[in-house]
Amino acid sequence: MSEFREITIGGLLKETASKYPDNRALVYPEFGISQSYREFSASCVSVAKGFMALGIKKGDHVSVWTTNLPQWVYMQFGLGMIGAVLVTVNTNYKSHELEYILRQSDSTTLVLMDKYRDTSYFDTTNEVVPELKTQAPGKTASAKLPSLKNVVYIGDRSSTPGMFAFDEAVKMGAGVSDAALEERIGSCGSHDVINMQYTSGTTGFPKGVMLTHYNIVNNARMVGDVMGLTEKDSLLIHVPLFHCFGCVMSTLNGVYHGSTMVVMESFDPLASLKAINAEKCTAINGVPTMFIAMLAHPDFDKYDTKSLRTGIMAGAPCPIEVMNQVRTRMHCSEVVIAFGQTECSPVMTMTRRDDPVELRVSTVGRLLPDIEGKIVDPETGEDMPAGVQGEIVTRSACVMKGYYKMPDETAKAVDVDGWLHTGDLGEVDANGYFKVTGRIKDMIIRGGENIYPRELEEFLYTNPKVNDVHVVGIPDKKYGEQVLAAIQLKEGMSATVEEFIEFCQGKIARHKIPKYWEFVNSFPMTASGKVQKYKLREMYSERFAS
């Protein structure tokens, strides 16, 4: 019998807060925050009422563009209560990407922080919505973004024309009654879309993956069950909340199991070691590069990590020596590997805590309960036997509702029988353990971030000097892969690498800017005139082998 639960995010928070009111829910060492589930729930209620006061209706899309601030977590659950759809915006995005997401998602509201690293979100937002300077908060009217009505600012600028201050918006919620909020919570159904995350594909522009309460609450439940997470655990969360790893496998997982969420604003190996030591964290989620950075920190031995027990490593293959060090030096003996993608909310397979180490590094584990998966021939769709490579496909109640306003793309990803085609190549052994062996699509994974060549190519085509361009991934020891752009310039044109880097800066995320640039006269082609990307990859991999 299926254990899938019909429960909304609002219902889940109420359930956990009534079961464990005095358990610590949310800890932010950097912000001096330590809240019980009773206090955390009250903060989420305040935010829910604040957004209702702004006029946010059930089904409205709210884009959130901040690092892992406390407000992010309050919005995740507060917006979930009122049935607003949280649209996650990558913190590395620049103006070109922000404008695309706000427009494609039909967001009525954008919530932004002041700045992060080298990007002023405040300036970027004003660049994308220049009308803000002359408009009253809540009365946004943008020529390029017809749906946008509200811009909400988190930060300490004294003047933010056209924007509500986040704290002021929350205060406005004092006028919303408990009864009105309860009525709104009651109007939400578990199969309503509640989260939209943007992911690309070989077709270019990012697609909004529509995930429901049912999709992500149940995935979080299964993930935590495999980790052995309970109300006695403290989970260190230093992965970005705008990915499923952060907001499903970490925060939602924590709330489902009544655990403490120890959240870092962004990843810093020393800050994470200090937090484990001070908060006695028992669980930790991260991509392999995070674990590597912590283990390599010169002060590693000064901090006590003996409280650690479990956690998840995902986002890239895990080298065996890293897994062994995490188990021994970090004392995280039950760490597991997870595999999936945003379109399946996100986890499909996990290794188990009692699996031998060999299985934990050579495979991505076996299927979660109630999730189907198999290997099919990418050409014919026929099922492949154990040990034979093919495309990994999955089917379950965790598969997305579809891509927002992209029915053709949805039909390409999810077939008529409900199987999600992952685009990953792999095989499964006789015991049901899956291995990922490659990718059908061109996606590049650099340090756990997905980069889509077509999206980058489309952007580079906007440079007037470019005649043709092809982007590939080159193997890299530190990041897994690096980005290479091979550019054919228009007749009679000349250009420099520096010129192209400058062209990208401020318009696309820094991690997407190619590390390698090659100016070419021609590309390797098939007989039918298609560019052979694998030949480009082979050619340049040898040249730039790291």
Q: Per-residue pLDDT for 453 more than 90?
A: no
d(Cα 500, Cα 462) in Å, to the nearest integer? 11
Q: Per-residue pLDDT for 204 more than 70?
A: no
Cβ atoms within 10 Å, residue 229: 25
Q: Which residue has the tokens 């945003």?
A: 342
Contact yes or no for 91/121 (Cβ under 8 A):
no
The DSSP string of 197-221 is: EEEEETTEEEEEEEEEHHHHHHHHH
The DSSP string of 53-97 is: HTTPPTT-EEEEE-SS-HHHHHHHHHHHHTTPEEEE--TT--HHH
Rounded average pLDDT over 233-242: 97
Is the backbone peptide bond immediately before 514 cis, with ω within 30 degrees of 0? no
The confidence band for 205, taking pLDDT boundaries of 50, 70 and 90, is: confident
Identify the CA nearest to 203 among candidates 453, 421, 487, 516: 453
Provide the pLDDT for residue 542.
Answer: 87
The confidence band for 214, taking pLDDT boundaries of 50, 70 and 90, is: very high
d(Cα 79, Cα 147) in Å, to the nearest integer? 18
Using the CB atoms, write b or e for 173-193: b if 16+ within 10 Å. beebeeeebeebbeebebebb
Contact yes or no for 351/384 (Cβ under 8 A):
no
Q: Which residue has the tokens 């994308």?
A: 128
Contact yes or no for 98/517 (Cβ under 8 A):
no
d(Cα 102, Cα 98) in Å, to the nearest integer? 6
User: How far is the CA of 209 from the CAs of 110, 196, 240, 483, 518, in angstroms?
Assistant: 18, 5, 17, 25, 34
Question: Please, is 135 exposed, middle or buried when counting C-beta atoms within 10 Å of its C-beta (0-12, 13-18, 19+)?
Answer: middle
Identify the CA nearest to 139 among candidates 226, 54, 72, 223: 54
Q: Strand 119-120 relative to strand 193-201: parallel, antiparallel, unpaired?
A: unpaired
Q: CB under 8 Å to 192, separation ≥6 — which residues?
A: 8, 58, 59, 83, 212, 213
d(Cα 181, Cα 58) in Å, to the nearest integer? 11
Provide the pLDDT for residue 2.
Answer: 60
d(Cα 201, Cα 400) in Å, to the nearest integer? 15
d(Cα 258, Cα 256) in Å, to the nearest integer? 6
Provide the pLDDT for residue 373.
Answer: 98
The confidence band for 200, taking pLDDT boundaries of 50, 70 and 90, is: low
Q: Per-residue pLDDT for 528 more than 60?
A: no
Rounded average pLDDT over 11-15: 98
- In SS3 terms, 26-56 reads as EEEHHHCEEEEHHHHHHHHHHHHHHHHHCCC
Provide the pLDDT for residue 531.
Answer: 75
Provide the pLDDT for residue 500.
Answer: 97
Rounded average pLDDT over 49-73: 98
Ranking 301-315, 323-337, 349-363, 516-530 by mean pLDDT, the lowest is 516-530
d(Cα 119, Cα 272) in Å, to the nearest integer? 24
Rounded average pLDDT over 186-212: 87
Strands in 150-154's sheet, in edge-to-edge order, are 164-165, 150-154, 109-113, 61-65, 85-88, 193-201, 204-212, 402-403
Q: Per-residue pLDDT for 75 more than 80?
A: yes
Q: Per-residue pLDDT for 201 more than 50?
A: no
Q: Per-residue pLDDT for 251 more than 80?
A: yes
The confidence band for 230, taking pLDDT boundaries of 50, 70 and 90, is: very high
Cβ atoms within 10 Å, residue 466: 19
Rounded average pLDDT over 375-390: 92
C-alpha angle 52-55-57 in degrees, rounded to nearest 5: 75
Contact yes or no for 111/75 (Cβ under 8 A):
yes
Task: Map out the domains of the chain with their CATH numbers.
Answer: 313-439 (2.30.38.10), 444-543 (3.30.300.30)
Which tokens hold the place of 492?
Answer: 């009679």
3-state DSSP call for residue 488?
strand
State what percent of residues in the chain have pLDDT above 90.
81
The confidence band for 540, taking pLDDT boundaries of 50, 70 and 90, is: very high
User: Could you give phi then psi for residue 281, rounded to 5 degrees?
Assistant: -60, 140
Q: Which residue has the tokens 């800050």?
A: 271
Q: Which helix (H) or strand (E) holds 112?
A: strand 109-113
Provide the pLDDT for residue 118.
Answer: 87
Q: Per-residue pLDDT for 527 more than 60?
A: no
Identify the CA nearest to 186 among candidates 5, 6, 8: 8
Rounded average pLDDT over 61-75: 98
Q: How far apart are the first and last CA of the chain?
A: 50
Provide the pLDDT for residue 73.
Answer: 98
C-alpha angle 104-200-437 in degrees, rounded to nearest 5: 165
Query: What's the mean pLDDT when you consider all of the chain?
Result: 94
d(Cα 242, Cα 72) in Å, to the nearest integer? 9
Rounded to the nearest angstrom, the gap between the alpha carbon of residue 100 and the centroid of all alpha carbons in its chain is 17
Q: Per-residue pLDDT for 187 more than 50?
A: yes
Segment of 323-327, 401-405, 535-539 carrying the highest mean pLDDT: 401-405
Each residue of 289-305: pLDDT tens digit?
A: 899 899 999 999 999 99
Q: CB under 8 Å to 171, separation ≥6 — which residues?
A: 50
Q: Which residue has the tokens 């420099």?
A: 496
The confidence band for 246, taking pLDDT boundaries of 50, 70 and 90, is: very high
Segment of 185-194, 379-388, 470-479 carrying the highest mean pLDDT: 185-194
Provide the pLDDT for residue 454.
Answer: 77
Identify the CA nearest to 197 among candidates 396, 392, 403: 403
